[in-house]
Amino acid sequence: MLETQEEIIKKITNRARLMRKHALIMALDAGSNGAHLGPGYSMAEIMATLYTAIIRHDPKNPAWPDRDRFVLSKGHGVLGYYTILAECGYFPVDLLKTFETKDSPLAGHPSIHQEMGIDFSTGSLGHGLSLGLGLALVAKKDKKDIDTYVYMGDGECNEGSVWEAAMAASHFKTDNLVAVIDRNKIQSDGFSRDIIDMGDMAEKWRSFGWHVREVNGHNVTELLDAFHKRNRPSGRPYLVVAHTIKGKGVSFFENNNAWHHKSLTSDEFIGAMMELGYNENGEDVFK
């Protein structure tokens, strides 16, 4: 039976909340290695929406040739990546507890493990769009109905290679390429406007020939509409500028760049869990 729009929105919202819970546990278990909680938390609704309702994929057949492709260009956002892959069934949720431990496949940046749903090793900022463009061009050459999704941070748009890829994508009319910019306005060294002020991000991309949509990156209804194929024009690459809050979901994480990458104490863990609606054992207090 097909799910209703209301059921899909509820499923995505529940997944995003679970992803934040899993990420907290991962960060605590990582100990002194720390974790990128801020970047991971801003991604939750976007990643839950993509993997629940937009991207064509099959956890039971990760190498399915006709699957859509996903590139996490902001590789430090792995907390928002591993958690949705686990929720989709690519690997057991318990494996998340091995994050950043010796011999774990779940490193601080994604490393290719196709059987786990990770097609590409990424993390060198500014390179993901070029990779995604190559994938989109191959799909067009092979006449395959395959879309490529590239998830970028707004800070990495300081990199010149992003704009080289943006120009080429427009030139080659790669309308099977969808980019997402996580516009949380903070990067590792501080507020993005103070590092390099990008101004009106959407207008910059439009001037490069992209079709651009701006949304609230935490509003599932807006995200579903933005990613729907009916809103993607033919002949042009498509960009969703998702305005987000870094650390969204926990008050002392939000817009606090100290949580770009940080170790989590037990007291902070308990406080964050309570804000998400869980007790210190991870049990849902709303049930």
Check if the beta carbon of residue 155 is closer than 8 Å to that of residue 188.
yes
From CA 218, how far away is CA 12, in angstroms rounded? 11
Cβ atoms of 248 and 44 within 8 Å: the answer is yes
Q: Is the pTM of this model over 0.85?
A: yes
| CA–CA gap between residue 67 and residue 159 (Å, rounded) | 29
- Distance (Å, whole) CA 83 – CA 164: 31
Question: Can you state the angle between helices 128-141 and 160-171, rounded to 10 degrees?
Answer: 20
Residue 73 to residue 126: CA distance in whole angstroms: 7
The domains found in the chain, sorted by start residue, are 5-276 (3.40.50.970)
Distance CA 57, CA 216 (A): 25
* SS3 labels along 147-195: CEEEEEECHHHHCHHHHHHHHHHHHCCCCCEEEEEEECCEECCEEHHHH
pLDDT (tens, 9 = 90+) of the chain, 287 residues, equals 678 999 999 999 999 999 999 999 999 999 988 999 999 999 999 999 999 999 999 999 999 999 999 999 999 999 999 999 999 999 999 999 999 998 899 999 999 999 999 999 998 899 999 999 999 999 999 999 999 999 999 999 999 999 999 999 999 999 999 999 999 998 878 788 888 988 999 999 999 999 999 999 999 999 999 999 888 989 999 999 999 999 999 999 999 999 999 999 999 999 999 999 998 888 888 76
